[in-house]
Structure 1
Amino acid sequence: MKKQFGVIGLGKFGTAVALSLESLGYPVLAIDYDETVIDAIKDKVSFAEIVDATNPEALEETGIKNCDTVIIAVGDVESSVLIALVLEELGINHIIAKANSQIHGRVLRKIGVKEVVTPEEEMGVRTANRITSANILDYIENSPEVDLLEYKIIHKDLIRKTLLELALRKRFGVSVIATRRGEDLIVSPSAQEKFLEGDVIFIIGRTENSFAFKEALEK
């Protein structure tokens, strides 16, 4: 049986999450107190309800308890905290909450929300790292300590070299988990795989090691 998701708060972030989950084939219960917002999304998700999610009885009546994961995408601090408390009282085990600031995030964690996301902050970090290097196509902060980089092979020290010759793990503490060459994706490339100009390599490693790799090639 497929997982079911609840999304409370249908601003830009909440709407994007709800529609993305539906597009991946997961049933979504979308909740907002604004009738106009619900009217705009009701034909694009499995379920849509006009509800004040801070009201325990009204929220329970939506069937929210059938959801495996609930995402709180409400920007207002007081409302998001109240909704988190209501969801915990209803027995929702997996709650993901959006925070608009570090303080907001700390408050959510203090009341027991284990997974807090800060979309604007994460996008800011991602953008800063992308624009500081023409070679980095994408930057994803997987955790506070581990990063995944997409790196385009244009540096002369990488072209026509194998993983064995480059010894990236030994030199920088990073690992190449995949290579994209045109339309082809090579997962777990062999040590003898030679990189060609224009290849894209996917590198994973601790934050400090990823930046050591980046800086060494851009001096």
Structure 2
Amino acid sequence: MGEYAVIGMGRFGRSVAITLHKLGHQVLAVDKNEEALREVSDEVTHAVQLDSTDAESLRGVGITNFDAVVVAIGDFIEESILTTLLLTELGCEKIVAKAVDDRQGKVLERVGAHLVVYPERDMGVRIAHTLAAPGLLDYLELSPTFSIEELSVPETMSGRSLGQLDLKTKYGVSVLLIRRDSQLMISPPSDTTLQTGDVLVVVGENRQLNRLESTFEPPK
């Protein structure tokens, strides 16, 4: 069981805090707004009202004792940067900070954030990919050139085995797993026969994945 502090109870911060708590971790929710804390207090371990730009307040809640601190106040740029800087100076083990754009992200990295996340940008990219590729269910970028995708198996592939389709040779992508209802088939063998409704999780270069996407039809 880990211990985490989440600073900023906007939509993003609240989602992180509640999810961590549901996963069985100890979670401290922090915000300077009493109403925001009241809305989340029953779904986290502790909720504390304080100003995260005040070093003494952060020390008072033992902020350096947490496995990671999430700075989820990206919309308030100055406050986000100052909070991240204070956490760095206090010696927090891991700092995850939300940014709204690349410029803010670079500053957060320079003042000590170990990981900078861009939830709005990343969600926009995922939605754009699912709209542009009819059979695409989900998308995760691993690097500027490699991604993981979830694709709904079309009727044209139903009844054929992975060996017959030979996606590695034809498209240069690898099948990581197949999801069939609640069953997961990890590293499925080449004689695995696909069924309509199966979900393929594949990894490869973006240009190869784009070629594969063009052969899929919209899920029904």
Q: Which residue of 1 aligns with 2:150?
A: 150
8 Å contact from structure 1 (residues 139, 149) kept in 2: yes
8 Å contact from structure 1 (residues 155, 217) kept in 2: no
Alignment of 1:157-168 (within 5 A): 158-168=157-167
- Which residue identity does 1:195 align to in structure 2? L
Judge which range, 9-18 or 110-119, deviates more. Answer: 110-119
8 Å contact from structure 2 (residues 133, 214) kept in 1: no
Structure 1's unaligned 5+ residue stretches are none
**Secondary structure, in 3 states, of the residue corresponding to 1:205?**
strand
Q: 1:198 to 1:212 in 2, by over 3 A?
A: same
TM-score by length of 2: 0.92
Q: 1:173 to 1:112 in 2, by over 3 A?
A: farther
CA distance in structure 2 between the aligned counterparts of 1:38 and 1:44, rounded to whole angstroms: 10
CA distance in structure 2 between the aligned counterparts of 1:179 and 1:86, rounded to whole angstroms: 45
Q: Which residue of 2 aligns with 1:137?
A: 137
CA distance in structure 2 between the aligned counterparts of 1:89 and 1:215, rounded to whole angstroms: 50
Q: Which residue of 2 aligns with 1:113?
A: 113
CA distance in structure 2 between the aligned counterparts of 1:120 and 1:198, rounded to whole angstroms: 30
Q: Which residue of 2 aligns with 1:9?
A: 8
CA distance in structure 2 between the aligned counterparts of 1:143 and 1:24, rounded to whole angstroms: 27
Offset from partner CA, 1:124-167 (integer Å, 9 cap, x none): 001011112221111222443432211111152x2322222222
Identity %: 36
- Which residue identity does 2:194 align to in structure 1? F
Structure 2's unaligned 5+ residue stretches are none
1:36 to 2:35 alignment: yes
The CA deviation at 1:105 is 1.0
Q: Which residue of 2 aligns with 1:47?
A: 46
Q: 1:30 to 1:144 in 2, by over 3 A?
A: farther
Q: Which residue of 1 aligns with 2:81?
A: 81
- Which residue identity does 2:40 align to in structure 1? I
Offset from partner CA, 1:39-95 (integer Å, 9 cap, x none): 222222111110100111111111211111111000211111111111111111211
CA distance in structure 1 between the aligned counterparts of 2:185 and 2:30, rounded to whole angstroms: 41
CA distance in structure 2 between the aligned counterparts of 1:143 and 1:48, rounded to whole angstroms: 36
CA distance in structure 1 between the aligned counterparts of 2:23 and 2:205, rounded to whole angstroms: 30
Q: 1:70 to 1:144 in 2, by over 3 A?
A: farther
Aligned Cα RMSD in Å? 1.6
Q: 1:190 to 1:33 in 2, by over 3 A?
A: same
CA distance in structure 2 between the aligned counterparts of 1:165 and 1:178, rounded to whole angstroms: 17
Judge which range, 11-20 or 159-168, deviates more. Answer: 159-168
- Which residue identity does 1:134 align to in structure 2? P
Offset from partner CA, 1:83-127 (integer Å, 9 cap, x none): 111111111121111001121112112223231111111010010
Q: Which residue of 2 aligns with 1:181?
A: 180
TM-score by length of 1: 0.92
8 Å contact from structure 2 (residues 64, 93) kept in 1: no
